[in-house]
Structure formats: structure tokens, C-alpha cells
Amino acid sequence: MTQRKTNQPARQLRRRGSKLHVELAQEIGEGILNGTYAPGTLLPNEATWGAMFGASRTAVREAIKTLNGKGLLVSRPKVGSRVEPRSRWNLLDRDVLAWHCAAMDRKTLLISIQEVRRILEPGAAELAARKRSPQQITRLEAALGGMRAARTAEAMVAPDVDFHVALLEAANNELLIPFGIIIEQALRQMFEFTSRHNPRPMGVIPLHEAVFVAVREADPAAARAAVIALLADTDEIIVRRASPGRRVRGG
């Protein structure tokens, strides 16, 4: 077990009051995910953290408690807080996923997201074509309308994310629905990249329309095929434009 030495100058966190522990948890969490605090590292005590960040012991304690709950730390009386092995990190937690994405190089991140999407989205689309409700069709149509109305590639990001999250929810599988919420941050980073580097950003709209029509018309095979085609288009952009060694910062 290693003891983390901290010679960094103190700095003040931006938030004050009851939300201070949130930012402190983010600072420490990002340090864990980017390797500053490696698994097995024994972290500084509450007084040291407080001096580093101008935070009270109460705020530090709440931040550590938050990170314990996310599987990043384990705390023991009279020992302190130690970084857990990566296998125990809850990467399905929204915050942990965001910190993980920020720590990865761009191409690795995008490929990882695509691998997850290929596992989830074709099957979800097939289920959605069978099980979607009228209200879910309306939500998909609204997201598609937002994409059509966008005047810039950047403006397409939010409705594009909404479309894919709505597609997962339309599958009406209670175990699948949380993945839509959890990977929302990852999709946002993915689409922020692809929207900037796609020479024909509006060209993805017909691909989304094909998914929507197949789901609306209750055609599971067509829905699966349409999503696979959409993912293949994104793969092409990643291969053509993403370069290794550059990191993606979340939006």
C-alpha cells in the first residue's frame, strides 16, 4: 500500500456551502480515474485535503463518502481512505463514467463507446419496434424534429442524444432503461466529436429517419438494420478523423 504525497499548492474550489463536497469529490474522482491516485494509494487525511482545497473537514468527509459509494475508495478507521482496484469502480455511475471519459485518449474513448452501442442499440431498436408506446413514438419524433431544425452541427448534439436515449427507453425493458441515462454523457461526447468532424453533418438525419420509421411501423428487422447502418456511419467518421493521444473533455 502506498501513501500519496501531496506537495501541490492549496487552491480554492469554486463552489461554497453545501455543494462544496460535490466539487471536491469531482477533483479527487478525476484524479483517481486519470491515474494521479493509483489503485492501492492511501489518500491524504481530511486535514490535508482541507488545506489543499480550502475546504472544511465536513466537506471533505462528504466527498470521501460519495467516492466510497461509487466504488472508488474504501475507508477504514485509523487507516484512512484507499483507492480501490479498477475492478470495483462503478463505471455505470454517471459521474464515474464522465470522469473516465475525460481521462481516456479520444480514439480509445470513441471506440469503447461504439462497442457498447453495438451491443445495446440494435437489440433495443428491435424491441422498440415491438413494444413502443404512442408516447414514445412522439418523443422519438420530437427528437428527430429537433435534429431537422438544427442550423449547425453543434445544435444537433442535444436532440441526437435525446433520440438515442428515447430509443433505449422505447424498448420498455426495465433493465435496459438505466443504460440510456448512464451513457447519456458518453453519447454527448461522442456526438460532439462526430458533429465537428462529419463533412456532411445533416447527412445523418436520413439514417435516424430510417430508424424512426422502422420503429413506428413496428418492423423489428428493419429497425435493427437501420441502427446498424447508423453505427457504421459513425464508425467511419471515427476511423477517418479521430487520432490517438488526444483527450476528450466532456460537455
Give me Rg for the CA atoms of the chain. 21
Average pLDDT, the chain: 86
Averaged pLDDT, 149-162: 91
The 10s digit of each residue's pLDDT in 74-99 is: 999 989 999 999 999 998 788 998 88
Q: Tell me what pLDDT residue 243 has.
A: 53
CATH no., domain 104-241? 1.20.120.530
Q: Is the pTM of this model over 0.85?
A: no
Question: 2-88 and 104-241 share one CATH topology?
Answer: no
Q: Tell me what pLDDT residue 24 has.
A: 95
Q: Tell me what pLDDT residue 18 has.
A: 56
CATH no., domain 2-88? 1.10.10.10
Domain extents for the chain?
A: 2-88, 104-241
Percentage of the residues of the chain whose pLDDT score is greater than 90: 59
Amino acid at 116: V
Q: Tell me what pLDDT residue 94 has.
A: 84
Please classify residue 91 by burial: count the beta carbons closer than 10 Å to its beta carbon, then call 0-12 exposed, 13-18 middle and 19+ buried. Answer: middle
pLDDT surpassing 70 at residue 105: yes
pLDDT surpassing 70 at residue 1: no
For residue 192, CA distances in Å to 26, 82, 159 come to 22, 35, 12
Between vectors from CA 175 to CA 173 and to CA 179, what angle results, nearest 5°? 100
With a CB cutoff of 8 Å and minimum separation 6, the contacts of 206 are none
Is 105 within 8 Å of 246 (Cβ atoms)? Answer: yes
Is 188 within 8 Å of 161 (Cβ atoms)? Answer: yes
pLDDT surpassing 90 at residue 17: no
> Lowest-pLDDT range, 18-27, 68-77, 183-192, 193-202?
193-202
Q: Tell me what pLDDT residue 113 has.
A: 87
> Lowest-pLDDT range, 60-64, 67-71, 190-194, 214-218?
190-194
Averaged pLDDT, 168-192: 84
